[in-house]
Amino acid sequence: MSNGTSVRYKVAEAAKSAGVSASTLRLWESQGLVVPDRSETGHRQYSTEDVARIKKIAWYRTERGLNPAAIREALESEEPSEGSDSADTSDLGRRLRSLRHGAGKTLDQVAGDVGIAASTLSTLERTSQGVSFKTLHDLAEYYGTTVSRLSGEERDDVPEVVRAGAWHTWPETTPGVTVQLLAEGRTMMDCHRFVLAPGAASEGAYRHEGEEFMHVLSGRLELVLDSDQFFDLGPGDSLYFESRRYHSWRNRHDGETILIWINTPPTF
């Protein structure tokens, strides 16, 4: 969440500004209340916005006596709505938050139902990042929608031709997984170009309705169906399977793996 300013504070400086200990600040991070950037050496770095958020957390805790879940809800209600400058990077998170509110659910309720930490869900709703591909699918299924719709793929009045290198890209919810749109609008197929960094994976198996086709352009992909059928796919290889079968995948190449991946109907 640390953006919009070049000022960075160390954990001790940020904690002091709010009158709390560094260990308390680390605890709030584990609870998803504040998510600092990291330096190249792995040290926490807090922006001016982060420090302001920390002060609000301290106020809610000491003056209002709120627990972490209630503080998350209170902070969330203060955040900007659809039209803010950060819309491009956090639309997916806002869509998830809107669906949760529409269902009358709290962060803790949805997180418990889906089987993830409330802090993870909170981070996803605020930053559109921080979950595996499987978790994103599980959340879409929980709300009765698809990952493609959550990612803003279904749009009207879009051109039929998508030029090379001009692809729109999904929010990068999962580190190392880039999904580029090869066709847009209200199509009968989800047509994607996946770019997977070394080690990138679905981090679990998922399934949905429909059928899917993949074709590896470069690198190497391992795909597992129903936990016991392993496919090692290299450049030029293709695979077609029913989406209702549990499937998981990972990049087995020491470089990027790039593939064309098509789902029909658009149920992912």
Which CATH code for domain 169-264?
Answer: 2.60.120.10
The angle at the Cα of 87, spanning 83 to 124, to the nearest 5 degrees, equals 125
| pLDDT recorded at residue 65 | 86
Count of residues making up the chain: 268
Q: Rg of the Cα trace of the chain?
A: 20
Q: Which residues fall within 8 angstroms of residue 242, CB to CB, at 6 or more apart? A: 210, 211
The predicted model gives 27-44 an average pLDDT of: 76
Q: What is the pLDDT of residues 185-219, one digit of tens each?
A: 777 888 999 999 999 999 899 999 899 999 999 99
Q: What's the DSSP call for residue 206? A: B
Q: What is the pLDDT of residues 128-177, one digit of tens each?
A: 887 888 888 889 889 988 887 887 665 555 557 878 888 888 877 788 89
- Residue 6 in this model has a pLDDT that exceeds 80: no
Q: What helix, strand, coil percent values describe the chain, rounded to 5?
A: 35, 20, 45
The angle at the Cα of 95, spanning 205 to 115, to the nearest 5 degrees, equals 35
- Residue 113 in this model has a pLDDT that exceeds 50: yes
Distance of alpha carbon 166 from alpha carbon 180, whole angstroms: 9
Residue 25 — pLDDT band, cuts 50, 70, 90? confident
The angle at the Cα of 20, spanning 48 to 93, to the nearest 5 degrees, equals 50
For the chain, what are the domain ranges? 11-77, 90-151, 169-264
- Spell out the SS3 assignment of 90-101: HHHHHHHHHHHH
Distance of alpha carbon 232 from alpha carbon 253, whole angstroms: 11
Which CATH code for domain 11-77?
Answer: 1.10.1660.10
Report the top-level CATH class of 90-151: mainly alpha
Which tokens is 156 given? Answer: 């009207």
pTM for this entry = 0.59
